[in-house]
Amino acid sequence: MKEFDYIIIGGGCAGLSLAYELEINDKLKAKTLAIIEPRAEYKRDKTWSFWKVMSHNFDDCVMKSWKNFTINITKKTNHLECQSYPYQSIDSGLFYEKIINSLKKNKNISFFKDISEINPKNSFIFNSVPSIKKNYLNLWQHFCGVEIETQKDFFDDEIFNLMDFDCDQRESVHFFYTLPYTKTKALIETTWLSKMNDNSQKDYDNQIKDYLENHLKLKDYKITYKEQGAIPLFYPTYEDTKNKINIGTAGGMTRLSTGYTFLNIQEHSKYICKNIENISKVKKFEISKKYQFLDDIFLRVLNENPKIMPVIFFKMFKSSPKTVIKFLSNKSNFLEDLSIILKMPKWTFVKALFR
């Protein structure tokens, strides 16, 4: 059976980002790579959004960028600017197409549906398939989004809504998220932060219909695309092995307080590419321990006090938006961290720290 220098298990966001980074930096001219991906065809299945705090390879896959956003709780709206770090949305369909077209040109790169088709014994493996053990205490960010088109101009496409908590919370944390691509086209998402053990939270279609028709008062629209998912707000099991690195969600690239993963995947890909010649010896890349610690406390507070979370998120954005964005994107310094921490209800967080 055929052997390869490198194997990437899972040709999704992390697997393809890494393969592309290696390819454009000429790391696959003298090395062979096998990508193991079971899906029958690549089509748009996700919209990856993030504040652009660093450069990445996919500016040509960006559907829209915004420099303004809002966050709402009942009867209050905060208008914020993100000039320095625009919020971007990437179309996964364009991302897959761009990368696959580029990788297909290199004869050293091969695609397989299953790892049993090759001999992995002497390869270095990058694995993006997470190992998730069932635990009813684990928190998830689970959501469903629809892209809609309206007959008449309806949206203000200059400003997106990051979180609208003015909705049914059902003893959990729930918000809507609206990305207006044009005046007549937007992605509307219903998002829950919960243990995912309450099936009544999963009537996503009804929630979105109610939000569109009764909250936004929009009647005349058609759904053109739908995406659904659940992001683990905990780290999947990670076994340290000499010839294997986990990447993507499996590799702990999700910021647990937010679910943001895309840019961390890009940073990890750049790190691996820079160190590829010495990959089995370099330090494991991870989201800094500072954020792991702060997110752990934040999620404990969320778990125990879901009702106060809308106000906590709202208050967090009372700091300068640039500071909050840097904090949520793992780029803040000590003083910036402090300015966010001081906005939080101190006693609630101190209690969570000692629990």
Q: Which is nearer to ligand FAD, 261 or 352 (CB)?
A: 261
Residues 199-220 as b or e (16 or more Cβ within 10 Å = b):
eebbebeebbeebbeeebebee
Position 15 contacts ligand FAD (CB under 6 A):
yes
Among 129, 187, 196, 287, binds ligand FAD (CB under 6 A): 129
DSSP label of 308: G
> What number of chain residues touch ligand FAD (CB under 6 A)?
29
Q: Which is nearer to ligand FAD, 127 or 323 (CB)?
A: 127
CA 292 to chain centre: 16
Give counts: helices (H), strands (E), the chain.
9, 15
> With binding defined as CB under 6 A, does residue 50 bind ligand FAD?
yes
Shortest distance in whole angstroms from residue 233 CB to ligand FAD: 11
Tell me the one-letter amino acid at 27.
K
Which of 6, 211, 262, 314 forms a contact with ligand FAD (CB under 6 A)? 262
Question: Measured from the CB of residue 48, what is the shortest distance to ligand FAD in angstroms?
Answer: 4
Asked whether position 252 contacts ligand FAD by CB under 6 A, the answer is no
Residue 310's SS3 state is helix
Q: Which is nearer to ligand FAD, 230 or 308 (CB)?
A: 230
For ligand FAD, the closer CB: 192 or 262: 262
Select from 72, 88, 128, 194 the one that contacts ligand FAD (CB under 6 A): 128
Is the CA virtual torsion 67, 71, 75, 76 positive or negative?
negative
The residue range among 161-169, 199-207, 218-226, 259-267 that interacts with ligand FAD, by the rule CB under 6 A, is 259-267
Query: Using the rule CB under 6 A, which residue among 4, 48, 235, 298 binds ligand FAD?
Result: 48
Distance CA 161, CA 177 (A): 6
Side chain identity at 197, as an amino acid letter?
Answer: N
* Token reading at 141: 């960010």
Give yes or no for residue 13 binding ligand FAD (CB under 6 A).
Answer: yes
The C-alpha atoms of residue 248 and residue 346 are separated, in whole angstroms, by 33
Least separation, in Å, of the C-beta of 237 and ligand FAD? 14
Sequence-distant (≥ 6) Cβ neighbours of residue 312 within 8 angstroms: 301, 344, 345
Nearer to ligand FAD, 47 or 201 (CB): 47
Interacting positions 189-248 with ligand FAD (CB under 6 A): 227, 229, 231, 248
From the list 192-200, 261-269, 272-280, 347-355, the region that binds ligand FAD by CB under 6 A is 261-269
Q: Which residue is nearest to ligand FAD (CB)?
A: 12
State yes or no: residue 43 binds ligand FAD (CB under 6 A).
no
DSSP for 194-206 reads E-S--GGGG-HHH
Contacts of 293 (CB under 8 A, 6+ apart): none
Q: Hunting for tokens 């549906």 — which residue is that? A: 113
Q: Which residues bind ligand FAD (CB under 6 A)?
A: 9-15, 36-39, 46-50, 128-129, 227, 229, 231, 248-250, 259-262, 265
